[in-house]
Structure 1
Amino acid sequence: DAQDIDLIVLATATPDNTFPATATAVQAQLGIHHGAAFDIQAVCSGFVYGLSTADNFLKCGQHKRALVIGAETFSRILDWEDRTTCVLFGDGAGAVVLEAQEGGGTLEDRGVLSAHLRSDGRHYEKLYVDGGASRGQEVGHLRMSGREVFKHAVINIAQIMEEALEATGVEPNDIDWFVPHQANKRILDGTARRFGMTEDKVVITLDKHGNTSAASIPLALDVAFSDGRLKQNDLILLEAMGGGFTWGSVLVRW
Structure 2
Amino acid sequence: MTTSKARITAIGSYVPTNKLTNHDLENLVETNDEWIVQRTGIKERRVADSNEYTSDLAYKAVLNMTERYNKTIDDVDIIIVCTMTPDFTTPSVASLVQAKLGIKNSGAIDVNAACAGFAYGLHLANALISSGLHQKIIVIGAETISKIIDYTDRNTCILFGDGSGATLVEFDERHPSFLSFHLNSEGEKGRSLYCSNLSKSILGEAIVDNNKIVQNGREVYKWAVSSVPRGIQNVLDNASMSLDQVNWFIPHSANLRMIQSICEKSGFPIEQTLYSLIDYGNTSAATIPLSLDKGISEGKIKSGDNLLLYGFGGGLTQAGLLITWNV
Structure 2 length-normalised TM: 0.73
Question: Which of 147, 157, 165 in structure 1 is aligned with 2:236?
Answer: 165
Residues 210-225 of structure 1 mapped to structure 2, 5 A cutoff: 210-225=281-296
Question: 2:105 aligned with 1:34, yes or no?
Answer: yes
Question: 2:191 aligned with 1:120, yes or no?
Answer: no
Question: 2:204 aligned with 1:150, yes or no?
Answer: no
Residues 86-101 of structure 1 mapped to structure 2, 5 A cutoff: 86-101=157-172
Question: 2:133 aligned with 1:62, yes or no?
Answer: yes
- Counterpart of 1:229 in structure 2 is 300
Question: Which of 74, 88, 91 in structure 2 is aligned with 1:3?
Answer: 74
Work out whether residues 157 and 248 of structure 1, in 8 Å CA contact, stay in contact via their aligned partners in 2: no
Work out whether residues 72 and 93 of structure 1, in 8 Å CA contact, stay in contact via their aligned partners in 2: yes
Displacement after TM superposition at 1:120 (Å): 1.4
2-side partners of 1:215 and 1:87: how far apart? 17
2-side partners of 1:133 and 1:222: how far apart? 36
In the alignment, structure 2 segments of 5+ residues that lack a partner are 1-71, 201-208
1-side partners of 2:90 and 2:105: how far apart? 19
| Equivalent AA in structure 2 for residue 101 of structure 1 | D
Work out whether residues 98 and 106 of structure 2, in 8 Å CA contact, stay in contact via their aligned partners in 1: no
- Counterpart of 1:240 in structure 2 is 311
- Counterpart of 1:111 in structure 2 is 177
2-side partners of 1:73 and 1:35: how far apart? 24
CA-to-partner distance for each residue in 1:145-187, whole Å, 9 max, x for gaps? Answer: 1111100111121111111000111111110110010001122
Work out whether residues 181 and 238 of structure 2, in 8 Å CA contact, stay in contact via their aligned partners in 1: no
Displacement after TM superposition at 1:197 (Å): 2.3
- Counterpart of 1:102 in structure 2 is 173
Aligned residues: 246
2-side partners of 1:110 and 1:229: how far apart? 21
Structure 1 length-normalised TM: 0.93
Work out whether residues 82 and 111 of structure 2, in 8 Å CA contact, stay in contact via their aligned partners in 1: yes
Q: SS of the counterpart of 2:229? A: helix
Work out whether residues 133 and 139 of structure 1, in 8 Å CA contact, stay in contact via their aligned partners in 2: no
Root mean square deviation, CA, Å? 1.4
| Equivalent AA in structure 1 for residue 128 of structure 2 | F
- Counterpart of 1:15 in structure 2 is 86
Displacement after TM superposition at 1:114 (Å): 1.1
Work out whether residues 98 and 111 of structure 1, in 8 Å CA contact, stay in contact via their aligned partners in 2: no
2-side partners of 1:231 and 1:42: how far apart? 29
Displacement after TM superposition at 1:139 (Å): 6.8
